[in-house]
Amino acid sequence: MSEIPNVSRQVRSLVKSSGELELSIRESKVAPLKKNEILLKVEASPINPSDLGLLLAYADISKAEYSGTDANPVVTAPINPKLMVGLAPRVDKSMSAGNEGAGLVIACGDSDEAQALLGKTVAGLGPPMYSEYRTLKVHQCLEMLPGVNSRQAAACFVNPLTAMGMVETMRLEGFSGLVHTAAASNLGQMLQKICLLDNVPLVNIVRKPEQEEILRAIGATHVCDSSKDTFSMDLQNAIAQTEGYIGFDATGGGRLPNEILAAMERAANAVSLEFNRYGSTQYKQVYIYGGLERSHTILKRNYGMQWGLGGWLLTPFLQKIGRERTAELRQRVANEVTTTFKSNFSNEVSMAEALTAEALATYSQQSTGQKYLINPSL
């Protein structure tokens, strides 16, 4: 095994009281391992949309200034003063980043569970994963099957468990089909594969023809392109065919959640045998789980009174279903990490390269097909 280091370099995010974001790479001490802990040499960690809120703190990256050295860059960017109130709890507190990643276990505590992971490739959950080394408790680790490398294992938690959580939520709430937006993303492709394997009808919403092609290539039946003039009717027909009356929206803002609810209502009314002045009796639910569109969510309420719009987060959902079911979902990820839950990355960069102007300008846009992977060992 590798020599145990005393320090670990990691990406830090600092919101200053002056109204600026500072990104940098700093050293942190590696503490002695406790009985049920392991030390992971991090070799791959994705930049997910869920990482960007903490990492970038809604700063204006287009106005960023760059200093420091190539090995130790410092990025400073202004934050809209109106947003500083919401950031108050973290002002002048340097924070670590990176929610998930994978690497090699190079040291471990004395417990049998920890010892069993020594020398293994594991996925780990919880920041700081944009770090050379990460101390983890055994329950935060997911052991990979032989032959699976860190790049393949890097995104084992957030996207796979979210995708499966959508299907689980659908079943728990009594629905039989579902709708998903931003559907050509890594998460969306995973969801499509899950639905094919589990015989769940799925309606995919995309914004571009090339995104539709991605989903058709992996077996999608229902793909609705919001850039087409026929989108509204296409969506209604797809919902009618799938009975997809629960939706998960990654955009959050704008009119899309409203359009989904309205299409659900029209689909329900199309098969209704009688008029009801309060709208259809079909309950319709849309959950917002992302914030790709940061404008206000606009609702017209032209879909009766049987509907719901709310937020959905992975961690509370996993707490709801309990440890046993969560363990089953995690094991499915480990078993299918190179197939159903395969992630595609457009760029692999070092921690320093992740803080360059080019990289920040790209991944901060959260564009489909532009998925960055940080390799702290580079």
The label of the residue with tokens 């809604």 reads 58
What are the residue ranges of CATH 3.90.180.10 in the chain? Answer: 7-157+346-374
Question: Looking at the chain, which runs of residues are DSSP E strands?
Answer: 7-15, 20-29, 37-46, 65-68, 73-78, 95-96, 100-108, 121-125, 133-137, 141-143, 178-180, 202-206, 222-225, 246-249, 252-254, 284-288, 293-297, 307-311, 347-349, 372-374
Identify the CATH number of the domain defined by range 162-316. Answer: 3.40.50.720
Neighbours of 84 (CB within 10 A): 17
Share of the chain above pLDDT 70, in %: 99
Q: Find out whether 290 and 182 touch, Cβ atoms under 8 Å.
A: yes
Give the CATH class of 7-157+346-374: alpha beta
What are the residue ranges of CATH 3.40.50.720 in the chain? Answer: 162-316
Neighbours of 111 (CB within 10 A): 14
pLDDT in tens, 305-345: 999 999 999 999 999 999 999 999 999 999 999 999 999 99
89: preceding bond cis by omega (within 30 degrees): no
Eight-state DSSP code of residue 118? T
* Helix or strand run (H / E) with residue 334: helix 314-335
Token representation of residue 302? 């032209």
Confidence band of 366 (pLDDT split at 50, 70, 90): confident
**pLDDT at res. 99:** 96
pLDDT in tens, 126-171: 999 999 999 999 999 999 999 999 999 999 999 999 999 999 999 9
Residue 2 has pLDDT above 70, yes or no: no
Token representation of residue 196? 């094919």
pLDDT in tens, 190-208: 999 999 999 999 999 999 9
pTM of this structure: 0.92
